[in-house]
Amino acid sequence: MGIASSVISAVPTAARWLIGNSGAIGDVVKSVRDVTGLEAFEDEDEFSIVPNPDIFAPGVSVVSLEKDLRKANTKLDAEAKIGLKPPKQDEDRETKSTKVDNLFWTAPSHPVGSHNGIPSAEMYRDLALILREKGFPLFFKEKNGDAVDVAYRLAQGIFANANEKGIAIHIKDGRHIHKLPVTIKSGDESCIINTQHVYYKIPMGKTGTEDAWQAALHMNKSLTDDFRQQYELEQADLVFLSNKKPPTGPVWILTCEVNWRTVLKAKNAGKSLGPKLEEDYGYYVPFTNIEAIHQILKIVTRANVAPAQVRANIEVAAGKLSDNISNPELRLLDKVTEPLSAQGPDVNIANAVYNGDYKDTGDYQMAIRRQAAETARREARNQREIDNMTSRILAGKDDMAIRRKA
């Protein structure tokens, strides 16, 4: 959505970011090389050795720093694997293990140091997207009905030691690799997620600027079959396909993005946004989908409705839905995430296409085919119900038929 990320997941990008944003590149290189076990660093040609990188760093390049970061990542990855709690194994449970290496947090102490342990919006969003990408649950409900935001709770855990506390492996000169195991599980243990986050600090050499972290995150999950099936049903509910007849003639075809701020707001409010826009404004919304906190909507409207007006109407509709589900009595949200959603949903038009006749587009033809298929499925279901009822009546098993005989 064009918003800043707190995490960099590609080593070349991290190397360029460090060179471009550090106040003292020698300190950066030394911290990375301390982790890899290298005392100094080579110049760009990899021949001469620079004995004092804190004073003089002529050989630093994206290529050389990238090599160092990859070596450091190998060590972090190995440490994150050691001691990770194994997933709970039972016959009726699904387990999966995965890892996220090459993690690079650009401002990790910001949420803890400045906001009393509340993860920043960027860090929370990035963790939610990581969990979604790796196929891990983003939420669950406790027995008492309380909703739990997994990404938020995980963010609280892995950034708890931003101020140099907890388990640490000493490297040299006061530098450490920090390790923190975090487990998120439901009260009935139908969902258990074990993680281990390993990182070290990279001083950026700027007054008032946060250190950066290079990190690795290993995770595993253990889900009961009942939990997995229910979660998959809830995920399927996050996709909306319109059953309205698509328009013809001149139209605006818009791709819209909504940032709902939290996973549970996206889940509970976002799934109603497509139908509401069709009902309240007469738009044709062929498709919507939710990924973590982001929702993508395809919207088709008459050519006399400007895209800016569509965006404004989406903001109004999304705001109302967000407010409606925020009622504490509904227990749809994890209460601790309220600071993240204080601003309300953010709406953006990602793409706009004016078309002289929507009927000539592939989207129109696909919508017509989908409607025909849905009509056929509905008719088939109705016919099966009629056939089943007829069979029950003939067999004397239908309640109404039995009552009439009585």
**How many domains, in total, are found in the chain?**
3
Within-domain flag for 279: yes
- Residue at which a domain ends, from 173, 205, 232: 232
| Same domain flag for 285 and 206 | no
Domain assignment of residue 367, yes or no: no
Q: Note the maximum CA span of the chain.
A: 102
Identify the CA nearest to 349 among candidates 397, 305, 310: 310
Domain interval for residue 279 = 241-360
Q: Are residues 173 and 41 in the same domain?
A: yes
Q: By C-alpha distance, which of 187, 260, 195 is closest to 224? A: 187
- The per-residue pLDDT for 53 is 43
Domain's final residue, options 208, 232, 256: 232
Verify that 104 and 246 share a domain, yes or no: no
Q: Centre a 10 Å sphere on the Cβ of residue 113 and count the other Cβ atoms it contains.
A: 14
Domain identity same for 218 and 154:
yes
Is residue 68 domain-shared with residue 127, that is, in the same domain? yes
Residue ranges, the chain, pLDDT below 70:
1-5, 38-60, 108-117, 162-175, 206-210, 397-406
Q: Please, are residues 137 and 186 in contact by the beta-carbon 8 Å criterion?
A: no
d(CA 2, CA 350) in angstroms, rounded, equals: 9
377 and 350 fall within a common domain: no
Same domain for 42 and 123, yes or no, is yes
Do residues 355 and 251 lie in contact, with contact meaning Cβ atoms separated by under 8 Å? yes
Asked whether residue 365 is assigned to any structural domain, the reply reads no
Last residue of a domain, one of 232, 262, 283: 232
pLDDT tens profile 32-62: 988 887 654 444 444 333 434 443 455 567 8
Residues 36 and 170 in one domain: yes
* In-domain check, residue 396: yes
Whether residues 20 and 147 fall in one domain? yes
SS3 track for 153-206: HHHHHHCCCCCCCCEEEEEECCEEEEEEEEEEECCCCCEEEEEEEEEEEECCCC
Domain identity same for 142 and 45? yes
Based on the fold, state whether residues 323 and 302 are members of the same structural domain. Answer: yes
In a domain, 55, yes or no: yes
Joined together, the tokens standing for residue 287 give 């498709």
pLDDT at residue 366, as a whole number: 87
Q: Which of 180, 131, 130 is nearest to 160 (CA)?
A: 180
- Is 308 found in the same domain as 213? no
pLDDT in tens, 80-135: 999 999 999 998 999 999 999 889 888 765 544 445 567 788 889 999 999 999 99
Cα–Cα distance, 271 to 185 (Å, whole number)? 26
CA of 49: how far to CAs of 44, 222, 297, 298, in Å?
10, 49, 55, 57
Does residue 117 lie within any of the structural domains? yes
User: Whole-model pTM?
Assistant: 0.82
The answer to whether position 1 is within a domain reads no
Task: Give the residue carrying structure tokens 């995430």.
Answer: 337
Nearest-angstrom CA–CA distance, 182 and 139: 16
Closest CA to 326 of 273, 265, 271, 272: 265
The pair of structure tokens assigned to 44 is 């760009």
What is the CATH classification number for the domain harbouring 332? 3.30.70
Q: Is residue 11 part of a domain?
A: yes
